[in-house]
Chains A and B, each alone.
Chain A
Amino acid sequence: MGRYLLRRLLFAMPTLLGISVVIFAILALAPGDPLAQFAADPSVPPEVRDAIRENLGLNDPWYIRYVKWLAALLRGDWGYSFASRVPVLDLIAQRLPQTLQVVGVAYLVAILMGIPIGIISAVRPYSLFDNLATTFAFIGFSVPTFFTGLLLILIFSVRLNWLPFIYDSTLRVTDWETFTRQVRQMLMPVTVLALFQTGSLTRFVRAAMLENLPADYARTARAKGLSEQAVVLRHVFRNSMIPVVTLLALGVPTIFTGAIVTEQIFRINGIGELLIKSIQNSDTPVVMAITFIFAVLVVVFNLIADVLYGILDPRIRYD
């Protein structure tokens, strides 16, 4: 096991290096200018913008910029944002709590709802519950979040005036009143995200369970006189978890990058919002930091998923 982990971690190095080269090259080759917002403003003439580009080191060829970036990273320096002139990690640290709160809670809600719904649907296929759940799941993952987001805003904020649609990130939860305000402002974005994720998770769990329910080992377990509950939860569910674990483990890193569309709609200052704004403004250090941390998380959680397979299915051995 130890040797396996070591080998995997060593393999991860060139993978991450390759990912960073590709992202950097794409960013550098894509057109854009951190001062583009001033482009039509005659009081910031092109030569001023060029001098600033030069100062930020943007006029070097991309491979030189990449080597500089990598060298700085190895010293632990992630660089500073062109737009704020603040260390990139500070910006991310400032955004992470909101993203983890909203996207993380939505993920948790999706897991807590998706798995039981999927199991019940599979155990009673084509029942009324299954039909309802399948329809719901189908709508959930086929309707895009920008649509459900706008729909909820129109209904609950504009028509009914029940919930705010501008997220207040300065709110500190200190007492019951501020807590309810926090819950109220999280309600719509969490619903939008959870609806989407529950949908896909339900379908996954249901499909995996349906595959395993008629399996030989399940029949054996029933023949041995185990209760149906024990058969489903202890035997079938556990075996069905293998594909689901992949989905869940690879979903965890996406919590970090936030939900670009949903964060934009509800003006949540999360990582996704930072990422898209930084891409639009060619704020390379910020984009590199977010995408690189994301890449590391993906590699790590892939590894975790692989280790979990071995635990769920003892036949899988790592030697």
Chain B
Amino acid sequence: MNQQRIWSWMVALLAGAMVLAACGGAPSAPAPTTAPPSPTAAPATAAPTVAAATAAPAPTAAPAARPGRGAGDTLRILYWQAPTILNNHLAVGTKDVEASRLVLEPLAAIDPEGNFVPLLAEEIPTVANGGVAPDFTSITWKLRKDIKWSDGSDFTAADVVFTYQYCADSRTACTSVAAFRGIKSVEAPDEYTVKITWEAPNSYPYRVFTSTRGAILQRAQFEQCVGEAASTAADCQAANLAPIGTGPYKVVEFKPGDVVIYEINERYRDPERPFFKRVELKGGGDAPSAARAVLQAGEVDWAWNLQVEAAVLQQLASQGGRGNLVTYNTANVERLLINFTNPDPALGEERGQLSQPHPFLTDLKVRQALALAIDRKAIAEQLYGPAGYPTCVFLWYPPFAQSVADIFKDCNQDIAAANRLLDEAGWQRGPDGIRVKDGKRLSLLFQTSVNTLRQKTQELIKANWAEIGVETELKSVDGSVFFGGDPGNPDNIGHFFADIQMYTTGATEPDPTSHLCGWISSAASQKENEWRGTNNMRWQNAEYDALCDQLRNELDPDRRVAIARQMDALIVSDVAMIPLVARPRVAGASKDLKGYNPSGWDAELWDIANWYK
């Protein structure tokens, strides 16, 4: 009996010890080896920040008296997708690109109006100043001579050349590699000059080393990281999480998938900036709660990409009183794409091939009727609110359009006209109200990704189409599958095994060439190219193809704008795609934050050095 009691006590003690070990041990857990090897990673104490807070001016101070470097305390930023890596070239999402931008900079940024702003370069090369070769086969960047890396070493052309070499090795697996395509060589004629030569004339010579995917890596830090070592060598893994940069901030602590802590890079080129001593970029959660954190609770100063339903967002903004919505333009348009090939499963291997035209969507009148029946205004106002404008065109930003009034003129809903077109095309209403022609029902399969906003848009469009006697079957596919590139999965946008699909896309750079030329006939997505063609609606239009050739070869800026407008108009008049909603991006800012100027052509945080309170 006695012995048993001792046993039971021992068990109790053991169990207690286990639970205690599990909990009590936690706070003293050793620092993970992935912590940035920065010498300044000492634990941050509250003392210095308190002093700074009292020194900081009242938020109502006149904007003219913008205080100097380090006068502000902590800037709190919330990204509902958490950054997982800070090496821009290995980024797996926008959140990584954004988080790395505080540290790693490109040669030039692009402001919201689409103008280039030199950062590490002395000026923007053009044909006029001799920076761009008259035949557009090369570009020469003159670098600033006063730039230092945050470790004190000089920034030179060797770093820029190295960045190219780093990504040119396919085993490095750079996700930014598309920007470097078509390059013949990147050379450094002298310490502060970089010359990029293309294999063929390039009408848009600014893609390399600019904007979101052009960050320059420090050669000294990444020299041993070219190829597979980029992911496998321990030093490179550490470097990917704490790159040395030229930007206004340096990383002092980074927990992948959670939070990045930055402090001022004392060697930043502008002695007056940045204002905030410290930046905390927290990640995780979801968009609605991020909106609540900035607009209602005031827990953060900036929240990224508030993709929240219009009603909820407006309610939070008006009731919260702690923050403002900040919208800024991109090239993105939510659109319907029309399948010009037959997705009928009965066709087997021939499904979606160009040899199998669509039974009725190849009829222009049917496509026109579908477009006319849609009430874009209702979709934009009821569902998107401040984050969407109804649009009749795809190029809705300067220089193609000057205001949101310009883009919604001649595409109001017109049910009568749509019905008339279908009558003319010979589609008669059947007993159930659905139109029939030659025994074929006018029935569509309409797919998009899983997203509340998209499902509601689908419902509205389905109701619009029901009014003109079109039957619609709705389908939604998980986003990672829908946008995924798996050649074996029939549910993605590349296969497009449906009649209509809906998603958002748009040019990622001010120049629309590569985006517009993605819809040419030869880019059709087919079995032969593993369903990777960019023209996934398989639209075939010789006139459009010719315009694309013209655009690629035209160097005069005004004529380029005219050609791009013509291409846009052709897509709309031939109803290959139906533009629905132009989508600016929406962020949230606390009421006292000033100086931000987010750009749709660059990272949202591109000018964070100018932010202040």
Contact = CB atoms under 8 A, between A and B. Distances in A.
A100 interface: yes
- The 6 A-B pairs of least Cβ separation, nearest first, read A39-B483, A269-B258, A37-B93, A36-B480, A104-B23, A94-B32
A90 B257 contact: no
Contacts of A48: 175, 177-178
B8 interface: yes
A107 B255 CA distance: 25
Contact of B23 (A108, A158, A273): A108
Interface string A17-55: 000000000000001111111111111111111111001
Contacts of B175: 35, 38, 44, 48-49, 52
B505 interface: yes
A91 B480 contact: no
A73 to B, nearest CB: 16
29 contacts: A31-B484, A31-B489, A32-B480, A32-B484, A33-B480, A33-B485, A34-B92, A37-B81, A40-B504, A40-B505, A41-B94, A42-B505, A42-B514, A43-B508, A43-B509, A50-B530, A50-B532, A84-B256, A85-B85, A86-B256, A90-B32, A90-B33, A94-B32, A105-B23, A153-B289, A158-B292, A170-B44, A252-B22, A264-B285
A51 to B, nearest CB: 6
A105 B493 CA distance: 46
Interface string A241-283: 0000000100010010000000011010100011001001110
A80 interface: yes
A83 B257 contact: yes
Nearest to B27: A173
A166 B179 contact: no
A100 B259 contact: no
Given A36-B480, A83-B92, A277-B257, A314 B485 contact: no
A169 interface: yes
A100 B297 contact: no
B8 A238 contact: yes
A212 interface: no
Contacts of B170: 51, 55
A14 to B, nearest CB: 27
B32 A93 contact: yes
Interface residues of B, number: 91
B485 A49 contact: yes
Interface in B223-273: 230-232, 236-237, 240-241, 253, 255-259, 261
A83 B514 CA distance: 28
A86 B241 contact: yes
Contacts of A47: 532
Chain A interface SS verdict (over half):
helix
Contacts of A172: 43-44
A311 interface: yes
A85 B228 CA distance: 11
Nearest to B87: A85
Given A46-B532, A311-B7, A311-B8, A85 B231 contact: yes
A170 B259 CA distance: 8
Interface in B292-339: 292-293, 296-297, 299-300
Interface in B149-184: 170-171, 173, 175-179
B201 interface: no
A42 B27 contact: no
B64 interface: no
Interface in A53-106: 55-56, 80-87, 90-91, 93-94, 96-98, 100-101, 104-105
A262 to B, nearest CB: 12
Nearest to B256: A84
B60 interface: no
A290 B71 CA distance: 44
Contacts of B289: 153, 165, 265
A194 to B, nearest CB: 13
Interface in B479-536: 479-486, 489, 491, 494, 503-505, 507-509, 514-515, 518, 530, 532, 534
A55 B11 CA distance: 51
B93 A166 contact: no
Given A48-B178, A174-B45, A269 B259 contact: yes
B366 interface: no
Contacts of A96: 26, 29
B282 A267 contact: yes
Given A38-B92, A45-B534, A265-B285, 4 more contacts: A81-B84, A84-B34, A86-B256, A277-B257
B280 interface: yes
B144 interface: no
B481 A32 contact: yes
Contacts of A32: 480-481, 484
B142 interface: no
A91 B241 CA distance: 12
B118 interface: no
B78 interface: yes
Interface in B1-24: 4, 7-8, 11, 15, 18-19, 22-23
A177 B46 contact: yes
Nearest to B92: A83
B249 to A, nearest CB: 15
B257 A43 contact: no
Given A84-B256, A174-B43, A280 B213 contact: no
Contacts of A40: 483, 503-505
